Structure 1
Amino acid sequence: MLVALLALQLGSLVAPAYACGCGAMIPDRNHRIGVDRETSAVRWDGRTEQIVMRFTVRGDAERAAWIMPVPGRADVTLGDPELFDELEELTRPEHRKRHYFWPRAKDWPFAGGAGDGAAAAPPGDGAVGVVGRERLGPFDVARLTATDPKALSGWLEKNGFELSDGLAAELRPYVAQKWEYVAVRLAPDADGAALQGELDPLRISFASERLIYPMRLSRLAKTPQSLGLYVLADHRMEPRDDIGGRAPEVTFAGAIEPEGAVAALTGGSPVHLTALDQEFPDPSLIDGDHELRTVADTPYREVIYHDRLLTIGGVPVWLLTVGVVLVAAGAIVAVRVRQRRPAVRSAA
């Protein structure tokens, strides 16, 4: 079973192994790869968790691999690329116009124009076991068990995954908790093309009585990390803490009637959708995995305001108002001057 499952022919890595929110990203020899953005959709019904993930990457690597720890026996399939477009549409901010009276810096007479504002199986060798292997489009996927951190690291290195000492050390807590692992080899469709932009999504499902999103391996990243998370559950869900990053920001929360790819993920049942964004300026501060909890089902949608100068017929209202006031003031002054002017008497 210990065949060259995911042979990447990796030598000693000159470039560091970057990490992403879902696991360790490993480039091929003498190349670099970085994850600028990880976006995941998580479906949890109280018993089973499904994670559909998509990476936005940069670098010059033609091949790469990543390791993702999971708390239970995992099934891996290709994800629907339309899922994230649908979720983005569902959670799109509401745009509203908002008018203001007095001119601002970009308005006349201060500037030339008006401006806009916006607000399984037992291990085969007693330490590491291969649960399964699948070829999914551009991905070669191995599902592993392990009872010893060194054995897991050694098996991965033997089969093409050269791990840094830091990554091997970060796997120890997962081995102690008897988690399993998804090891994935990925490469672009075109020969000689670098891994760039948005990669095809993968869907991983496993049994879990808690909603957990693996993040611990991201502490090895050398650059700031960005996480976008769509959570589909029976209620609004939010992380228990920030696990070393900035406070997670809720950009949408509300009940939805799923359609299309979202319905395929949820089984068509009405669910609550929570959209979260989080930044990790210093990934080394990440101290655990995200565990999400149920909170009050308070709806929320981000509102972006577009400020406009109040006009009538294209003429600023403030200018019309000032003009009216000046005309009225001039009329009053003229009347008072006329009233104070002494009458001229004619000679008898």
Structure 2
Amino acid sequence: MRKLRVAMAFLASLSAIARPSTTHACAPAMPKDQPPLRIRGEEALIVWDEAHKEEHFVRKAIFDTSVKSFGFLVPTPTRPKLAEASPAVFDALANLTKPEVVEEARWSVLPSLLFLSMRSKSETVAASAPAEAVRVLEETRVAGMDATVLAATDADALGRWLGERGFEFRPALRDWLKPYVDAGYTLTAFRYERPDVAGPGAIAVPIAPTAVRLSFKSERPFYPYREPSDAAAVPGRTLSLFLVGPRRLDGALGAGAAPWISASTRFADAVAAAPLAATLAGVTLPDKPWVTQIVDETSLRAREDVFFGPGDARVRPPPFVIYKDGSSSCPWSSSFRPSSSSSGASASGAVRWYRPRHETPRHPFPALRRPHHLRLPRLL
């Protein structure tokens, strides 16, 4: 029998470390006569500055839609500072959290935020909101989008304000906004315009606005997870959330800290700070940062936001094993016998088999390899 050597590592291993590539909007709010707004890919990052009680929230998404303009609201406990963020930070995070690749000898063969549609300018809206009920704290343009930071004391007044400016507003959205308004949260309204689209009949094409960062004061890390009550289940969507802080961060739902049972922690450990610092200009990182990666694949989210607290256990994904002296875990039949001329091929690579250069010949009778003292019967 010859020694086995893998000439090429399986390319299929790349698929296991790839970040989720398909997801949908958290709570689509498109009118029935408008084409859907979907997100081809979405990732989020929370950097928690524990010393200064400050959160940096970064979000990147690729939209697939044919609408001319759309918008979304982001609630934050306090007024945020807006800035454009480098999407390269997610590449750095993927590299830091990918499974370790190890080599092993073996001699066996084993058989994805609330999105709002925009009204047409011809639609009528209710009377203007009282000036004191809705205050504009800032109007700016960031990451290719128009952004308006708002403070409101009345959810209905805020709804009228949004309606006057082209945002769709409905009762379920009012109910979604009310807890934030009552708690004194700030809301940032983002609007993305597509000058290349003349109307809603255009063909859907991917749009990739640059990642945007919201930095704000908070007593604890916060992720806007809630959806309106009329949100429909979206099978197959994935939320990939990274958290960076001085230690592991675990999420819980709402003020009652209910278990976030639909989420799983895929990575939690200390990492090198340099790769993150190079892609997070203007953000203070811990000297020895921990990265926590949480993945949520539920089709219908809980009606609570997620708050995070300290954890301690390390979590790392299982390593990818390259079998240098044995087989990989290909689902071959047990009748397969590797030889010098046989080769295994799959969609992800090829494997060639070789005999070992040095091997002790097998004894035809293994039980007799060691000397035995035979006792002969006595002759009477």
Regarding TM over 0.5, the answer is: yes
What letter is aligned with 2:287?
A: P
- Can you list the C-alpha shifts for 1:66-101, whole angstroms capped at 9, x where unaligned? 111111111211111222112222222212233432
Matched, 1:154 2:169: no
**In structure 2, the residue corresponding to 1:61 is in which secondary structure?**
coil
> Which residue does 1:301 correspond to in 2?
316
Q: 1:30 aligns with which of 4, 22, 34?
A: 34
Q: Following TM superposition, by how much is the alpha carbon of 1:243 offset from its aligned partner in structure 2, in angstroms?
A: 6.2
Q: Following TM superposition, by how much is the alpha carbon of 1:149 offset from its aligned partner in structure 2, in angstroms?
A: 1.2
Matched, 1:88 2:98: no
What letter is aligned with 1:163?
A: F
> Which residue does 1:223 correspond to in 2?
234
Matched, 1:42 2:46: yes
Matched, 1:165 2:142: no
Identity %: 22
**Structure 1 residues 72 and 222: CA distance shift in structure 2, 3 A:** same
Matched, 1:174 2:210: no
Matched, 1:310 2:321: no
Gaps (5+ residues) in structure 1?
Answer: 1-17, 106-122, 333-348
Q: Following TM superposition, by how much is the alpha carbon of 1:212 offset from its aligned partner in structure 2, in angstroms?
A: 0.9
> Which residue does 2:371 correspond to in 1?
none
> Which residue does 1:211 correspond to in 2?
221
What letter is aligned with 1:92?
A: K
**Structure 1 residues 301 and 245: CA distance shift in structure 2, 3 A:** closer
After superposition, residues 64-75 of structure 1 pair within 5 angstroms as 64-75=70-81
Higher Cα Rg, which structure: 1
Q: Following TM superposition, by how much is the alpha carbon of 1:157 offset from its aligned partner in structure 2, in angstroms?
A: 1.2
Preserved contact between residue 215 and residue 288 of structure 1 (Cα < 8 Å): yes
Preserved contact between residue 237 and residue 294 of structure 1 (Cα < 8 Å): yes
Matched, 1:246 2:242: no
Matched, 1:201 2:211: yes
- Can you list the C-alpha shifts for 1:260-311, whole angstroms capped at 9, x where unaligned? 444525335424232323224232x413111000112x44432333353735
Answer 1 or 2: which has greater helix percent. 1
After superposition, residues 310-329 of structure 1 pair within 5 angstroms as 310-311=325-326, 314-315=353-354, 324-325=361-362, 328-329=364-365
Q: 1:275 aligns with which of 292, 296, 303?
A: 292
TM-score by length of 1: 0.71
What letter is aligned with 2:325?
A: L
Q: Distance in 1 between matches of 2:272 and 2:28?
A: 34
RMSD, aligned α-carbons? 3.3
**Structure 1 residues 271 and 57: CA distance shift in structure 2, 3 A:** farther
Preserved contact between residue 227 and residue 279 of structure 1 (Cα < 8 Å): yes
Q: Distance in 1 between matches of 2:259 and 2:193?
A: 31
Matched, 1:235 2:271: no
Q: Distance in 1 between matches of 2:67 and 2:290?
A: 35
What letter is aligned with 1:33?
A: L
Greater shift in the superposed pair: 73-82 or 269-278 = 269-278
Q: Distance in 2 between matches of 1:233 and 1:202?
A: 19
- Can you list the C-alpha shifts for 1:197-233, whole angstroms capped at 9, x where unaligned? 6442111111112111111127625414421122121
